Chains A and B, each alone.
Chain A
Amino acid sequence: MALLEIRNLHATVDGKPILKGIDLSIGKGEVHAIMGPNGAGKSTLSYVIAGREGYEVTDGRILFDGEDLLELEPDERACAGLFLAFQYPVEIPGVTNTTFLKTALNAQRKGRGEGELDAMQFLKFVREKAKPLGIGDDMLKRAVNVGFSGGEKKRNEVLQMAVLEPKLAVLDETDSGLDIDALKIVADGVNAMRRPDNATLVITHYQRLLDHIVPDRVHVLADGRIIKSGGKELALDLEAKGYAQFGGAAAA
C-alpha cells in the first residue's frame, strides 16, 4: 500500500480551479519530486495536502497510510505524520524555537497517545537533532524565525522535521533563497532522515536541489495536472529544455 495516494484531486482557491485532476502515488521509502513552472499549482498541492483553510477540494481523494486525509483537521494530519516545510516559514515573536518545538512535539505525542517529554528529556533530544544542522543553543533560544536569514529559516524547517519525525515530509520550494552551502546542509539533513518506512515529496522549480536529494520519481506539474512522470533523468531533461515544452511559463 502506498503511503500517499492521491486520486483525481481537484481543488479551487477563491472559486478558481487550480488543481484539475491530480493522480499521485508515493510508496514508503521513496522520494518523489514535483517540478513545474510558476503558477502550475505546486504550492496549492502542498497546502491541500496539509489542509489549509481556503483551499477547497472539489473532487477526488487523498489517502494517507490508508486513512482519508481530507477528513482530518490540519493538526490531526500533523499528528498522523504529515509535515510541510514551508516556502516562507512564519515568524512567531516571543516564542522561542525550543518552546515551539517542545509544544509541537508534545502535542503530536499526545495526539498519538504517547507520553509527553519533560524539559530535560526534550532538551537532550533537540540538541542531538540540531547539531548536524549547525543549529546551536543560541538559535534554539531565539524566537521562531524572527530575524532569521533565509538560510536559517530553511534550516529551522529541517530541524522541525527532524524533531517531529514525520512519515511524509512535503518540502515546498525549500531550496528557494538558499546559497549552495546552505542548500547542502538542508539536503544532508533531509537525506539523513530517509528510512524505509517514510517518504519525501520535494516540490521545486529547479533541478539543483535534486542533485543533493536524489528522487526515485519526478513528476511535471503544469496547469493543475501531472503531465509527465519519469525517473531522476527527467529532472535533468527539464533543466536542459525548460518548461516551455509543456506549454507553461518559462522559468524566471
Chain B
Amino acid sequence: MVATPETIEQLRSVTDEKYKYGFVTDIEADVAPKGLNEDIVRFISAKKSEPDWLLEWRLKAYRAWLDMDSPDWAKLKIDPIDYQDAYYYSAPKIKDGPKSLDEVDPKLLETYDKLGIPLKEQEWLAGVAVDAVFDSVSVATTYKERLEQEGIIFCSISEAIQNHPELVRKYLGSVVPYTDNFFATLNSAVFTDGSFVYIPKGVRSPMELSTYFRINAQNTGQFERTLIIADEGSYVSYLEGCTAPQRDENQLHAAVVELVALDDSEIKYSTVKNWYPGDENGVGGIYNFVTKRAACRGRNSKVSWTQVETGSAITWKYPSCILQGDNSVGEFYSVAITNNCQQADTGTKMIHLGRNTRSTIISKGISAGRADNTYRGLVRIQPKAESARNYTQCDSLLIGDRCGAHTVPYIESRNPSATVEHEATTARISEDQLFYCCQRGLSEEEAVSLIVNGFCREVMQHLPMEFAVEAQKLVGISLEGSVG
C-alpha cells in the first residue's frame, strides 16, 4: 500500500514531541455509577441492547471473576488495584449514532486531529480504514462500503452483536474462554466495545484495517474486546495503535483480542502501543493487562503478531498462537521499550498441536532508566505435533546501569521429532558507538534512537510501512533523557 507524504507527515507530527497528548476532551460522559457488581454488568449489557445469551455469558464471567485472584507470577510490582473505585462504562453522548462523519461530534474529530488520525480523504489514499474507539464506544467507521463490496465485515463489536449475532456467538470466547484468566474474565464481564472483523472465504482484504484506541474519561478502565475471523483462504492485515491523555491516577486497561484463522488463511496483527507511561517517577501511567491469543485452527493457516510497546507504566501481555491445524505457522515479533520506572513483562506462547507446525519468536527488549523488562515465553510441543519446529531469539539491550533485563523461556517438548532452538543475547549501547555517531553529527539522543532502531530492525521490518515510520519515531521519543 502507498504511504502518502501527508500520512507520513501526520505520523511525524504525532510522534515529534515528548508527550503532547496530555489533553482531555470535554464531552459529557454517560457513566455508570462507580464500582462493579452484577447490576453494573446488567447496565452495560442493557445500554448496548444485547441479547440474553450475551448477558448470561457476561454474568457467568463476572461470577467466575469473583473467585479469581490477580496473577502474581509476573516480574512486576503492582500496587493493589481497587476495582470498586473505577467506572466501567462511559460513552460519548450521541443521539441515535452518527450515519456519517458529518454527524460526529466536532469535538471528537478535533481530538482525532490532535492525534493526527486522518479520518478523511487522505486516509483513503493511505488505504486505511479506521474504526476509532473513543472511550468505549466506536463512533466512526470509514470505508465500510469498499470493504462491504468484498463482503468484509469491519465494525465495532457492539454492531457485530446486533447485526451478525451468529458469528459473534460462534467465535466469541472460543479462543479466550471467559474463565481464562483474571483480566480476561473481568473483560468478558464488562467489555464495552472493540473491533470485529470477518474476512470471507478466499478474500484478501484490499486495505489494512486499522483501529486507534484512546482512553479519555478519567478513571474509566477500558475493556476492549476484539474478534477477528479469517475464513478459508483469506488474508487480512490489522493495525492497532493508541495514545492516551496524561493522568495522575493509574488507569487500567484490560483488553482481550481473539483471532481465528481457518484453513489456508493468514492474519497479520500489528500493534504500536504508546499508552501514557507515567512521569519520570512512574506516576500516572496506564496499567496494560492484555490477553491476546490466536487460534490457527485450519491447515496451513498463519498468524503473525508484531508489536512495538513503548508506553504503559505496567505491561502484562503475551500474544500467543495455538497451532492446531497441520502445517500452521505462528510468528511473534516484539519490541518492548521501558524507560524511567516502566515495567514490562511480555512475551508469547506458542502451543504446537498439529503436525509440521512452525513458530518463530523474535523479541527485542530495551531497558533504560530504572526500568525492568522481562521476556517470558512458552514453547510447548504436544505429543501429536510431529516434526514441529520453533526458533526463538531474545535480545536485550541495556542503557545505563540501573535498569534490568530478564529472559524467562519455558520450553516443553513432548514429541521427540520436534526441533526447538533458543538464542538469547544481552548487550549495552557502547560508548564507542555513541561517539562514532556523534562524530558524524548526530546528537546523543539521535544516536541512541538510531542504534536502538538498528537493534530492533528485524522486528520493525515486519510492520506496515507507515506504522514503521511512527514506530521508529516512538523509539526515539520513549528513550529521551536515557543517556547523558
Contact = CB atoms under 8 A, between A and B. Distances in A.
B441 A94 contact: no
A44 B433 CA distance: 18
Given A78-B440, A94-B458, 10 more contacts: A75-B439, A79-B441, A92-B450, A92-B451, A95-B450, A99-B450, A100-B440, A104-B441, A108-B440, A160-B440
Contact of A95 (B438, B443, B454): B454
Interface of B: 430-433, 435-444, 446, 450-451, 453-458
B475 to A, nearest CB: 12
Nearest to A88: B432
A108 B437 CA distance: 12
B450 to A, nearest CB: 6
A100 B432 CA distance: 15
Contacts of B453: 94-95
Interface of A: 50, 52-53, 73-75, 77-79, 83-84, 86, 89-95, 99-100, 103-105, 107-108, 111, 143, 160, 164
A78 B443 contact: no
A107 B451 contact: no
Nearest to B5: A118
Given A53-B431, A92-B433, A107-B446, A74 B454 contact: no
A113 B201 CA distance: 55
Contact of B432 (A79, A83, A90, A104): A90
B454 A143 contact: yes
B454 A94 contact: yes
Contacts, number: 76
Contacts of A79: 441
Contacts of A95: 450-451, 453-454, 457
Contacts of B432: 90
A103 B442 contact: yes
A94 to B, nearest CB: 3
Contacts of A52: 435
Contacts of A90: 430, 432-433, 435-436
Contact of B442 (A89, A107, A160): A107
- The interface centre, meaning the residue of B435, B446, B453 with most chain A CB atoms within 10 A of its CB, is B435
A116 B442 CA distance: 14
Contacts of B431: 53
A6 to B, nearest CB: 18
Given A93-B455, A95-B454, A107 B443 contact: yes
Which of A89, A93, A164: most chain B CB closer than 10 A? A93
A86 B457 contact: no
Contacts of B446: 75, 103, 107
B441 A107 contact: yes
A53 B441 contact: no
A73 B441 CA distance: 10
A160 B440 CA distance: 8
B451 A75 contact: no
Nearest to B443: A75
> Which 4 residue pairs spanning A and B have beta carbons closest together?
A94-B454, A95-B454, A94-B457, A104-B440
Nearest to A93: B454
15 contacts: A50-B435, A52-B435, A74-B439, A75-B439, A92-B433, A92-B436, A92-B437, A92-B450, A92-B451, A92-B454, A94-B457, A95-B451, A105-B441, A107-B442, A160-B440
Contacts of A108: 440-441
Contacts of B443: 73, 75, 107
A103 B443 CA distance: 11
A94 B435 contact: no
Contacts of B444: 75
Contacts of B438: 73-75, 78
A79 B438 CA distance: 10
A52 to B, nearest CB: 5
Contacts of A92: 433, 436-437, 450-451, 454
Contacts of A105: 441
